[in-house]
C-alpha cells in the first residue's frame, strides 16, 4: 500500500455502495484513473446488502410494459410531495438520468426487472420499481468491469482528510488496514452513505430517544465524508433527515423478523395507541412504509399495538383475510403469488410469552394494569379502548377513517397485550449542499473545486420526509454518482 503515496489519481471515490460504484465505473469508462475506497471488507454497501432495486422513469422496461410514467410526471409528483422545498434542478437531473442509468447498469451486468410496486397502496400508481436480477453477481460484474478498465478498488480503506492547495483539492489522507497513507488526486466524490452508523451524530439530528430507533442502515456510514466536507468549507448539515421506513417490534436486540408472528402483527392495522394512551392515526397507514415510518416518528418514535386474548386465540388457529404490509415485498423477491392472508400464527403464544422479558411485549389482566406497565394515562387508555370497541360494533371508524374491513377485533377479554413498535430507518439522507452536478457548495453557494457529494450524503432531492415513490433513495444514489462522474470527465478533458 505504500506505493499509493506516489500514485496520482484523476478521481478518488469514497465509498463503494450504489453511488460510489456508479461514479467509479462511469469515470473509468471515460478514461480517468480512478481509486474506489471502501471502509469495510466487502463492496456493495446498503445499495447491495439492503436494497432490492431502484426507481426509474420513462425507462425501456416501462415502455415495453406499457407503463406511461414520464420524466415530467415524476418531477411534478416529487415537487408536489415536498411542497417545492426540494431543489428542482436536482430532482429533474436525477429523474432525467434514470432511464439511461438503468440501461447502462444492465449493459454492465446488473440487470433489473420491472415489477409491480412493492407496497399495497401503490398498486394503482405507475410502476417505478426496477428490481435487481441476480443482485450479488450483478454487482460483482460491475466491479470486475471497473477493474478491467484499470480502476483500483481498495477495501478496508477509510478516508480521513481532504487537503487543498490554493483552494483546489490536491490530496486525500487515508487509512488502509491501520496504515496511514496519502493519495494525490484532483477530484473526490464523497459517497460513503451518510451518518446512520454514528450514534452521536444521529442523536444530534433527531427528536426521539435513540432507544426507540431501530436502524436497518449501513453501520459503516459514520459521517466521514460529511465531516471532511465541513472541514474544507462545505455545508454538511443541510436538511439531514432519517429515511423513516415502517416500525419494528424489537425484542432483546434480535432481528425483528426472527419473531415471525410478532413481526407479522406489526404489519397489520390493529389498534395503536401512543405514549399518552390515545389512538393517533388511521392504522392502515401501515400499507405505505414511508408514511408509516413518519407516523411512528411523529408519535415520539414508538407506539403500542393493543390486542386481547380473544384475538390471540383466534389468530393462533385461524387464517385472516388481511394482507401483511410486507407480503408483496417478499413474494416479489421470490416470484411467488400473493395470498392476501395471514395466519394461523401457531407460534404467537410462545413468542409473546418469551418476549415478556424484553421491553417490547407487555401483558396484564386488566386494561388499567396494562396502562400502569406502559406508564401511560390510565383514563385515556381505557377511554380509547372503549371508544374503539364502539366503532368496531358499528363497523365504521368515525375517528380516523380506517377501512371498514379492518374494524374487526374489539379489545374485550384479558389478559391484554401491548406490543411496542419503534421507529425504523434505512439510514440518513442529506447534509451535503450541492448543485445539480453534485458539486459541493459553500454556504454562499460557491462551488468547491474538485469536491463532489452523492447518494445519502447529498441534500436537495428530499425535504422533511422520504417520498412515497418506490426505489427513489437507491435511484438517487445510482444517478447522482453517474452525474458527478460525468461532470468530472467533462471538466477533465
| End-of-domain residue from the set 424, 453, 470 | 424
Residue 199 lies in a domain: no
Which of these ranges, 117-126, 289-298, 374-383, has the smallest mean pLDDT? 117-126
Residue 466: what pLDDT?
Answer: 82
Asked whether residue 6 carries a pLDDT value surpassing 60, the answer given is: no
Residue 256 lies in a domain: yes
Residues 156, 14 within the same domain: yes
| 458: Cα separation from own chain's centroid | 14
pLDDT per residue as tens digits for the range 78-128: 999 999 999 999 999 999 999 999 999 999 999 999 999 999 999 999 999
Residue 271: what pLDDT?
Answer: 99
Q: Element (H or E) spanning 106, and its range? A: helix 88-107
Residues 278, 229 within the same domain: no
Residues 262, 365 within the same domain: yes
Residues 230, 315 within the same domain: no
Closest CA to 62 of 10, 121, 113: 113
Residue 213 lies in a domain: no
CATH of the domain at 351: 3.90.700.10
Rg (CA), the chain: 24
Are 432 and 229 in contact, with CB atoms under 8 Å apart? yes
Closest CA to 403 of 294, 286, 280, 282: 282
Residues 304, 405 within the same domain: yes
Q: Write the DSSP symbol of residue 328.
A: H
What whole-number distance in Å separates Cα of residue 373 and Cα of residue 396? 30
Residue 217 lies in a domain: no
Residues 366, 299 within the same domain: yes
Asked whether residue 256 carries a pLDDT value surpassing 90, the answer given is: no
**Residue 262 binned pLDDT confidence (cut-offs 50, 70, 90):** very high
Domain hosting 436: range is: 7-191+223-237+432-492
Helix and strand numbers (H, E) in the chain are: 16, 19
Q: CB pairs under 8 A, 24+ apart, for 392-397? A: 397/282
**Which residues are CB-neighbours of 269 under 8 A, at least 6 positions away?**
282, 283, 284, 285, 286, 287, 322, 402, 403, 406
Residues 182, 41 within the same domain: yes
Q: What is the mean pLDDT of residues 448-458?
A: 98
Residue 211 lies in a domain: no
Residue 400 lies in a domain: yes
Residues 158, 271 within the same domain: no
Total domains present in the chain: 2
| End-of-domain residue from the set 405, 424, 443 | 424
Residues 414, 485 within the same domain: no
What pTM was computed for the model? 0.96
Residue 209 lies in a domain: no
Residues 270, 365 within the same domain: yes
Residue 403 lies in a domain: yes
**Which residues are CB-neighbours of 313 under 8 A, at least 6 positions away?**
none
CATH of the domain at 454: 3.50.50.60
What whole-number distance in Å separates Cα of residue 94 and Cα of residue 82? 15
Rounded alpha-carbon distances, angstroms, from residue 235 to 86, 91, 243, 457, 462: 16, 19, 20, 11, 16
CB atoms within 10 A of CB 68: 10
Residues 66, 33 within the same domain: yes
Determine if the peptide bond prior to 415 is cis (ω within 30°).
Answer: yes
| End-of-domain residue from the set 424, 443, 466 | 424
Q: What is the mean pLDDT of residues 288-311?
A: 98
Residues 304, 414 within the same domain: yes
Amino acid at each position: 500500500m505504500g506505493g499509493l503515496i506516489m500514485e496520482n489519481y484523476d478521481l478518488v471515490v469514497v465509498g463503494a455502495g450504489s453511488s460510489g460504484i456508479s461514479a467509479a465505473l462511469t469515470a473509468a469508462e471515460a478514461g480517468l484513473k480512478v481509486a474506489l475506497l471502501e471502509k469495510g471488507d466487502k463492496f456493495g454497501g446498503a445499495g447491495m446488502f439492503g436494497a432490492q432495486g431502484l426507481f426509474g422513469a420513462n425507462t425501456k422496461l416501462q415502455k415495453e410494459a406499457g407503463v406511461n410514467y414520464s420524466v415530467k410526471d415524476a418531477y411534478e409528483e416529487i415537487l408536489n410531495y415536498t411542497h417545492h422545498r426540494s431543489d428542482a434542478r436536482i430532482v429533474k437531473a436525477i429523474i432525467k438520468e434514470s432511464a439511461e442509468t438503468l440501461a447502462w447498469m444492465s449493459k454492465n451486468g446488473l440487470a433489473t426487472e420491472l415489477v409491480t410496486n412493492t407496497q399495497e397502496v401503490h398498486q394503482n400508481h405507475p410502476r417505478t420499481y426496477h428490481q435487481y436480477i441476480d443482485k450479488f453477481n450483478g454487482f460483482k460484474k460491475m466491479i470486475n468491469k471497473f477493474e478491467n478498465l484499470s480502476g483500483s478498488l481498495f477495501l478496508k480503506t477509510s478516508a480521513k482528510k481532504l487537503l487543498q492547495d490554493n483552494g483546489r483539492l490536491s490530496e486525500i489522507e487515508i487509512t488502509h488496514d491501520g496504515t496511514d497513507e496519502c493519495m494525490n488526486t484532483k477530484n473526490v466524490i464523497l459517497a460513503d452513505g451518510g451518518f446512520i452508523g454514528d450514534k452521536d451524530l444521529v442523536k444530534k439530528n433527531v427528536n426521539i430517544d435513540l432507544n426507540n430507533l431501530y436502524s436497518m442502515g449501513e453501520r459503516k456510514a459514520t459521517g466521514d465524508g460529511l465531516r471532511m466536507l465541513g472541514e474544507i468549507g462545505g455545508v454538511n448539515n443541510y436538511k439531514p433527515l432519517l429515511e423513516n421506513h415502517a416500525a419494528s417490534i424489537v425484542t432483546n436486540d434480535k432481528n425483528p423478523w426472527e419473531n415471525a408472528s410478532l413481526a407479522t402483527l406489526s404489519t397489520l392495522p390493529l389498534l395503536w395507541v401512543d405514549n399518552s394512551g390515545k389512538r393517533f392515526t388511521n392504522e392502515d397507514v401501515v400499507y405505505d412504509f414511508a408514511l408509516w415510518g413518519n407516523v411512528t416518528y411523529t408519535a415520539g418514535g414508538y407506539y403500542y399495538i393493543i390486542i386481547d386474548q380473544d384475538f390471540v386465540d383466534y389468530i393462533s388457529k385461524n387464517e385472516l383475510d388481511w394482507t401483511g404490509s410486507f407480503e408483496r415485498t417478499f413474494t416479489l423477491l421470490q416470484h411467488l403469488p400473493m395470498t392476501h392472508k395471514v395466519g394461523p400464527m401457531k407460534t404467537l403464544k410462545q413468542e409473546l410469552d418469551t418476549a415478556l422479558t424484553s421491553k417490547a411485549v407487555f401483558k396484564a389482566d386488566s386494561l388499567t394494569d396494562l396502562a400502569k406497565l406502559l406508564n401511560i394515562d390510565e383514563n385515556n387508555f381505557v377511554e380509547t379502548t372503549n371508544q374503539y370497541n364502539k366503532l368496531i360494533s358499528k363497523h365504521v371508524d368515525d375517528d380516523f377513517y380506517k377501512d371498514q374491513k379492518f374494524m374487526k377485533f374489539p379489545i374485550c377479554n384479558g389478559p391484554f397485550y401491548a406490543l411496542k413498535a419503534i421507529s425504523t430507518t434505512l439510514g440518513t439522507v442529506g447534509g451535503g449542499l450541492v448543485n445539480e452536478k453534485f458539486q459541493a457548495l459553500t454556504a454562499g453557494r460557491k462551488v468547491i473545486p474538485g469536491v463532489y457529494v452523492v447518494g445519502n450524503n447529498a441534500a436537495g432531492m428530499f425535504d422533511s420526509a422520504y417520498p412515497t415513490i418506490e426505489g427513489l433513495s437507491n435511484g438517487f444514489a445510482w444517478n447522482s454518482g453517474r452525474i458527478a462522474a460525468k461532470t468530472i470527465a467533462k471538466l477533465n478533458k
